[in-house]
Amino acid sequence: MQLHTGDDHLAHAAPATAAIASPHTAHHPPDPEYAISTRGLVKSYPGPDGTTTYAVRELDLDVRQGETFAFLGPNGAGKSTTIAMLCALARPTAGHATVAGADVRTQPHQVRQRVGMLFQQSALDPDLTAEQNLRIHARLYGIRRVHVRQRAAEVLEVAGLTDRRRSPVRTLSGGMRRRLEIARQLLHAPSLLFLDEPTTGLDPHARAQIWAHLHALRERQGTTLFVTTHHLEEAANCDRVAIIDRGRLVAQDTPRALKAAIGDDSVMLHTSDDTTAHRIVRRIAPPEHSVTVDPHGVCLRVPDGSSWIPRLCAALEGHSIAVRAASATPPTLDDVFFHHTGRSIHGARPDPAPATSTSADPAQATGGDR
Ligand SMILES: Nc1ncnc2c1ncn2[C@@H]1O[C@H](COP(=O)(O)OP(=O)(O)OP(=O)(O)O)[C@@H](O)[C@H]1O
């Protein structure tokens, strides 16, 4: 989903009043030492028939300075809405957030001055050259004319686009345009860059280039990167990952710790009769462990998966079922997502009626709750 630009999202129109009280915020205010810190952040919309639709519910996040932080979730999870609030483009319904040392409610202008925002929709003019696009942005951000040429040259160099600076944008590849968009957001030297699905629509090679570019940015300039994605392999390369599902934060840690916490390996068996094999494996496996079957075969999630393979093969062969392939793999972030939500991230679909409630209290919202 694209970021929203309706009146509801014009945070600068919001009065600079005291933030809405929340049980979270009363005890643990956001910590301005973090690049991003939120407590009890909520975004809701009036739904049909007097109901309330919660796009984001009671979000507590802490992102360290210089960290590459992935915000992972399926379509409709609430990622774009969260970014809109953190960039002070959407007004939170409740809760607090400080971003780059400024309060999103009471200091939205400072927030927008201090961060860069790469949205899903391109804001480049395809008929202008790369350099001309940068100059327009520099003027919008009030960068002094004497500095613009030098800043543009610097960010073009960082983006690896110096030799294409006079090319009209429409002649650049998808990956180059995305790098130019990032360069544009770096002109005013923000310490924190929000990137909403930065690799959407790019082929694997261009995606890898964007990530190499982002990692280099972090190394060279210490820029904090907050990246939304539904690509697991992208999240796995970040310092920390927050998983959001149906507006709610379900887990937050390093990829390694998230995987270690669930512990289970995936044991995959491809057999001559997967349906019967599924029944047999279910009988053998401890009841608390998941056993599923799909076109790829039978999958059992257990700790120390490789030790299960000989036993399962022997049991299946005892029922005259031939095992054609067997493997045990350590947990992936998809397993982590499955563990916390009961679904695969790729199978997860946005609810037709996301998190709808007639209650004013998001904790009591029923739709989409588990
Ligand atoms: N203005 C709005 N009015 C009502 N519901 C909204 C509004 N904006 C967003 N939503 C709902 O809030 C939920 C979260 O949307 P959001 O765009 O933040 O998800 P997302 O994780 O960014 O999805 P995607 O990956 O598809 O961009 C969705 O179910 C969406 O339909």
Please check whether residue 368 lies inside any domain of the structure: no
Among protein residues, the one with the nearest Cα to ligand 1's atom 26 is: 75
Cα(78) to ligand 1 centroid in Å equals 5
Cβ neighbours for 231, distance < 8 A, ≥ 6 positions apart:
199, 207
Q: What are the tens digits of pLDDT across the range 213-260? A: 888 888 888 899 999 988 888 898 899 999 999 999 999 999 989 988
- 61 and 93 share a domain? yes
- 12 and 115 share a domain? yes
User: Residue 20: which domain range?
Assistant: 7-258
Q: Give the confidence band of 352 by pLDDT, cuts at 50, 70, 90.
A: very low
Q: What are the tens digits of pLDDT across the range 116-137? A: 998 888 889 999 999 999 999 8
Task: Assess whether pLDDT exceeds 80 at residue 296.
Answer: yes
Cα(108) to ligand 1 centroid in Å equals 22
Q: What are the tens digits of pLDDT across the range 147-200? A: 898 889 988 988 889 999 999 999 999 889 999 999 898 888 888 999 988 888
By mean pLDDT, which of 126-130, 262-266, 359-363 is the weakest?
Answer: 359-363
- 164 and 231 share a domain? yes
Tell me the percentage of the chain whose pLDDT exceeds 90: 48
At 31, which CATH number? Answer: 3.40.50.300
Task: Assess whether pLDDT exceeds 70 at residue 367.
Answer: no
Please identify, by atom number, the ligand 1 atom nearest to the C-alpha of residue 3. Answer: 17
Q: What are the tens digits of pLDDT across the range 310-322? A: 999 999 999 999 9
Q: Is 160 helix (H, G, I), strand (E, B) or coil?
A: coil
For residues 45 and 323, the answer to whether their CB atoms sit within 8 Å is: no
The per-residue pLDDT for 1 is 46
Cα(72) to ligand 1 centroid in Å equals 14
- 197 and 308 share a domain? no
Distance CA 282, CA 261 (A): 23
Q: Give the confidence band of 115 by pLDDT, cuts at 50, 70, 90.
A: very high
Cα(198) to ligand 1 centroid in Å equals 17
Q: How far is CA 205 from CA 63, 68, 176, 209, in A?
A: 29, 21, 12, 6
Using DSSP bridges, classify how beta strands 36-46 and 192-196 pair: parallel, antiparallel or unpaired: unpaired
Task: Assess whether pLDDT exceeds 50 at residue 19.
Answer: no
Please check whether residue 370 lies inside any domain of the structure: no
Among protein residues, the one with the nearest Cα to ligand 1's atom 2 is: 45
The per-residue pLDDT for 362 is 37
The per-residue pLDDT for 264 is 82
Among protein residues, the one with the nearest Cα to ligand 1's atom 12 is: 55
Cα(247) to ligand 1 centroid in Å equals 9
Q: What is the total count of domains within the chain?
A: 2
Task: Assess whether pLDDT exceeds 50 at residue 292.
Answer: yes
For residues 116 and 198, the answer to whether their CB atoms sit within 8 Å is: no
Mean per-residue pLDDT over the chain, rounded:
83
Please identify, by atom number, the ligand 1 atom nearest to the C-alpha of residue 351. Answer: 29
Please check whether residue 183 lies inside any domain of the structure: yes
Task: Assess whether pLDDT exceeds 80 at residue 11.
Answer: no
Cα(81) to ligand 1 centroid in Å equals 6
The per-residue pLDDT for 279 is 96
- 75 and 110 share a domain? yes
- Residue ranges lining ligand 1, Cβ < 6 Å: 1, 4, 45, 53, 55, 73, 75-81, 230, 350, 354
Please check whether residue 295 lies inside any domain of the structure: yes
The per-residue pLDDT for 347 is 64
Task: Assess whether pLDDT exceeds 50 at residue 2.
Answer: no
Among protein residues, the one with the nearest Cα to ligand 1's atom 16 is: 78
Please identify, by atom number, the ligand 1 atom nearest to the C-alpha of residue 82. Answer: 18
- 214 and 268 share a domain? no
Q: For residue 237, what are its two tokens? A: 């390369």
The per-residue pLDDT for 218 is 85
Task: Assess whether pLDDT exceeds 90 at residue 350.
Answer: no
Among protein residues, the one with the nearest Cα to ligand 1's atom 31 is: 76
Q: Give the confidence band of 28 by pLDDT, cuts at 50, 70, 90.
A: low
Cα(367) to ligand 1 centroid in Å equals 15
- Phi first, then psi, for residue 299 (nearest 5°) are -125, 125
Q: Which of 230, 258, 286 is the last residue of a domain?
A: 258
Cβ neighbours for 76, distance < 8 A, ≥ 6 positions apart:
1, 246, 349, 350, 351, 354
Please check whether residue 292 lies inside any domain of the structure: yes
Among protein residues, the one with the nearest Cα to ligand 1's atom 14 is: 78
Q: Ligand 1 pocket test: which of 5, 9, 53, 341 has the largest number of ligand atoms within 8 Å of its C-beta? A: 53
Q: Which of 258, 273, 303 is the last residue of a domain?
A: 258
Q: Which of 199, 229, 258 is the last residue of a domain?
A: 258
Task: Assess whether pLDDT exceeds 50 at residue 108.
Answer: yes
- 122 and 205 share a domain? yes
More confident residue, 91 or 364: 91
- 131 and 247 share a domain? yes
Q: How far is CA 116 from CA 175, 186, 189, 365, in A?
A: 19, 7, 8, 33
Cα(56) to ligand 1 centroid in Å equals 9
Segment 298-323 mean pLDDT? 93
- 180 and 251 share a domain? yes
More confident residue, 84 or 361: 84
- 154 and 70 share a domain? yes
